[in-house]
Amino acid sequence: MSTTPQSTSTPRKILVLGATSGIAEATCRIWASQGASLFLVARNAEKLAAVAADLKTRGASYVDTAVADLDDTDQHPSLLAHAVNSLTGMDIAYLAHGVLGDQTEAERDFNTAAQILHTNFMAPVSLLTWLANFCVQRHAGTLAVLSSVAGDRGRKSNYVYGSSKAGLSAFLDGLRNRIDREGVTVLTIKPGPTKTAMTAGMPKSEKFADVDSVAESIVSAIDKRRDILYVPFQWQPIMFIIRNIPERIFKKLNL
């Protein structure tokens, strides 16, 4: 896939929520090379400053940032309004906020499970509700959201994380059904395991997908106004098979 700059008259205005995640950062590098205007939001001020500086050197026409805890839903309206004002509009909102969480601990402690569900589902729902209404008012825009193949079917190895992503994917399905007719694209991105800092300690992580290739696929899917993206592509048939294993068999598997 090509990552050469697009021949657009004005730079695209892109809001990135969770900008220091590995996949988000790789995607932003492509947009920076295209001369995009970027507003980056993340929790870690030091990492965010480093990412912003790197994107400026890579060709971004404008970069602004905000340090924020996206789990704090009460702050979302003012944060998003500030971001849109800084960009003087918004063409794409890219939501990459999320955590893997600790499955073993979540099995023992409800509060751990609840925090994973809040970060991966409730917080994105809050952000997307504001962003969707903003885009509908303008009959334009793209909402691109990182979900996961883990949400396609609950498995004992990660069902708390998986259920949070299943809820997010279902929310995006319904949101798309509501606002696509208003000229707004909703892209559900379902990556398989990807080599990032977040997955570095996981078993067999050396076999995970290359983050730059994943980012290229995401940028391409946004440009093509796709609805759902499995990345790498082979996860679509893999998850089709997994979803269709009869429950009497599936419940005995170690997945």
Catalytic residues: 161
Tell me if 92 sits within 8 A of 142, measured CB to CB: yes
Separation CA 235–CA 30 (nearest Å): 23
Neighbour tally for 239: CB within 10 Å: 18
Residues 85/13/177/98 CA torsion (nearest 10 deg): -90
**Omega before 124 within 30 of 0, i.e. cis:** no
Q: Which are the contacts of 186, defined by CB distance < 8 A and separation ≥ 6?
A: 132, 142, 143, 145, 172, 175, 176, 179, 180, 227
- Say if CB 41 and CB 18 are below 8 A apart: yes
Yes or no: say if 39 and 255 are a contact pair by the CB < 8 Å rule: no
The DSSP secondary structure of 150-183, one letter per residue, reads GGGS--TTTHHHHHHHHHHHHHHHHHHHHHGGGT
Q: Are 176 and 191 in contact (CB under 8 A)?
A: no
Q: What is the Cα–Cα distance from 70 to 215, expressed in whole angstroms? A: 22
Spatial contact of 67 and 48, defined as CB atoms under 8 Å apart? yes
